[in-house]
Amino acid sequence: MAIQADKVWMDGELVDFEDAKIHVLTHTLHYGLGAFEGIRCYQRADGHSAIFRLGEHIRRLLETCHICTLESPFTREEIERACVETVRANGFKDCYLRPVVYLGHGEMGLSAMGNDVRVAIIAWPWGAYLGDEGLTQGIRAKIASFNRHHVNASMVKGKINGQYVNSILAKREVMKAGYQEAIMLDTNGYISEASGENIFIVRDGVIYSTPLGSSILGGITRDTVLTLARERGYEIIEQRVTRDFLYVADEIFMTGTAAEVTPVRELDDRQIGTGKPGPITRVLQDAYFDQVKGSATDHMDWLTMVE
């Protein structure tokens, strides 16, 4: 379904959706140097809408800019306010937000040191990224032939536009083979992350997660789920694991702003656990959705109210 909205925020003002255009020589379009975020706004049980962990997302957006040597023309506070304005201007109750910082047109060639840095924020309604059935029944995943970036070949802690070509190739590869998501190994052969999600593994009641000191992006949903798991008394081990450790897992689930908390029922044509979402996955999935669109009030600092 084509994305549609009334207004898009561009460089400090709201413009009509049809007028949100850039020049064909926009540098980021050609070379990929830019920063972006994916953020969700949810309508909660009380009817009010709130953007989830907005501050953390915009902090990471600007950290990515810093990694990329891009100087944002807007502050963190200004971009956060602009996100709220964009949701309000479109009248959305539930939506996905995409702030993007990019190099405009001017110089070509790789450095483009004199090009303006521009900022846009787009919002649109977006359901479950891996499908409603994926949330309830789990998905089929496959180890991709494409590895996650090496930590010294690409800046893995930033959400950098051009770096996602690697994930796109992995995703397209496995989807053409009939699977719903790709899981990527690091360059040493250990589990890294999915094409756009972090990975959690459950075995004998213990939750395993690839550590931040590796090739993974530090997911905000990952951090949320780790917090909720610790509060519920689960043992958590952050360490690198091999692909066959996933084959013999009791449960696997993925986390991400778009994917939320999605179980994996099958990996490389091997059933995971019972072939259904496991009990720990269900507990953490329910806890997550209670925070973002339920009535939980124990982490109100995670919410930026829109109305």
Q: Which of 159, 171, 176, 293 is catalytic?
A: 159
Q: Please indicate whether residue 159 is annotated as part of the active site.
A: yes
First and final CA of the chain: distance in angstroms?
27
- How far apart (Å, rounded) are the C-alpha atoms in residues 42 and 87? 11
Strand, helix or coil at 7? strand
CA separation for the pair 55, 60 (Å, rounded): 9
Q: Note whether 228 and 287 are within 8 A (CB).
A: yes
What is residue 116's DSSP assignment? Answer: P
Beta strand 260-267 with 251-256: parallel, antiparallel or unpaired?
antiparallel
Burial of 225 (0-12, 13-18, 19+ CB in 10 A): buried
* C-alpha span between 170 and 212 (Å, rounded): 21
Alpha-carbon distance 57 to 95, whole Å? 15
Residue showing tokens 């939506």: 95
Of 74, 88, 77, whose CA–CA distance to 54 is shortest?
77
146 token code pair: 């494409």
253 and 209 in contact (C-beta within 8 Å)? no
Tokens of 232: 């519920």
Residue 58, token pair as written in the block: 């915009």
3 state SS of 194: strand
Active site residues: 159
